[in-house]
Structure 1
Amino acid sequence: MPHRLRTVGREFTDSAPIRLVFAAEVSASVDVVYRALAEDVASWPSWFTAVTSATPTDAGAGREVRLRGGVRFRETIVAAEPGTCYAYRVDESNAPGLRALLEEWRLTPEGSGTRVQWTFAADGTGLFRLVLSLGRAGLGRSFRGAVRRLDARLAATTP
């Protein structure tokens, strides 16, 4: 059953009780990566395999996301800065123990490509925090695999 999460702003990436930060590089430009993240939401399952569906809502101001295992999120976009940053807050979820979640994707030019940094900022019950802390390595692997697949996808579709 979905439940409402605490409303947080972008500053939560600095103050969250749990902050997981991962980074990787891709060969595509920041503009191309930004479009894949923010404008081609429906394609997320093709490169981020933890995501089974992603649908823009509210004329692009939100998203509905489903993950493997049945977790669902209803999100609000809190930052859409072309070529720089894409961030969203989870407003509703069926994830047990989750109280607040904000994810931020920062893009920085790196040589001829882009450095992609993903911050996963969360709060939850003690058990949720423990499970997420123990799952840090797996979440990092999931991110790195997703970025590799995104890089390959962008290389195949970008002239």
Structure 2
Amino acid sequence: MARWFALKPADAGFFTSAPHVFRYVKHFDATPEQVWVSLQSDESLAAWGKTVGSLTWTSPRPFGVGTTREVGTGPALVREQFFEWTEGSGYSFFATEANLPLFRRFAEDYRIEPEGTGTRFTWLVAIEPVGPLKLPFTVLAPALKAGFGRAAADGQRYFATR
């Protein structure tokens, strides 16, 4: 059984105040409706590629503020709680627990909007590492940004083949 480490909650202000904020903007060859359906599907980002290995919604449908899920990327597992949900255009969540003691706070924001015949996908990742990891996170920030960015690129490829 995994050991869980509690994280501090976050809100929308964390996307501007976090020590590390990574921003990704991609054009998806799909309508906003198609992207939205994918984001809240049973597989969600796990269907887009190998970056997200597992995703389990732990709240019943319909989803909204307060919804929870568990996401796995490699050896890391994170439990998330949604604090903002705008049906059809985006949502935000913060991590409540992780199986690795890496983060003090962690949050993500997903936005979708029409762009030509497709969708503009904007994704923010906000991270505050635990104290002893502040310096390593600062040094590794470019690599971390590239690593997280693979999920956005996965989405771009996923919708290009649909």
Would you call these one fold, judging by a TM-score over 0.5? yes
Could you say which TM-score interval applies, normalised by the shorter chain? 0.7 to 0.9
Does 2:146 match 1:137? yes
Equivalent in the alignment of 1:66: 72
Equivalent in the alignment of 1:3: 5
**Which of 88, 91, 96 is equivalent to 1:86?**
91
- Across the aligned residues of Structure 1 and Structure 2, the Cα RMSD in angstroms comes to 1.8
Task: Look up the equivalent residue of 2:78 and give its one-letter code.
Answer: F
Equivalent in the alignment of 2:50: 49
| More helix as a share of residues | 1
**Residues 44/138 of structure 1: CA separation in 2 closer, same or farther (3 Å cut):** closer
Runs of 5+ in structure 1 lacking a partner? none
**Residues 36/21 of structure 1: CA separation in 2 closer, same or farther (3 Å cut):** same
Aligned-residue offset at 1:24? 0.5
Aligned-residue offset at 1:32? 1.6
Task: Look up the equivalent residue of 2:13 and give its one-letter code.
Answer: E
Does 2:120 match 1:111? no
How many matched pairs?
151
Q: Percent identity?
A: 28
Task: Look up the equivalent residue of 1:147 and give its one-letter code.
Answer: G
Equivalent in the alignment of 1:27: 29
Runs of 5+ in structure 2 lacking a partner? none
Tell me if structure 1 keeps the 8 A contact 2:48–2:151.
Answer: no
Moved more, 11-20 or 40-49: 40-49
SS of the residue 1:58 aligns to: coil
Distance 2:146 2:79 in 1: 25
TM-score, reference length from structure 1: 0.85
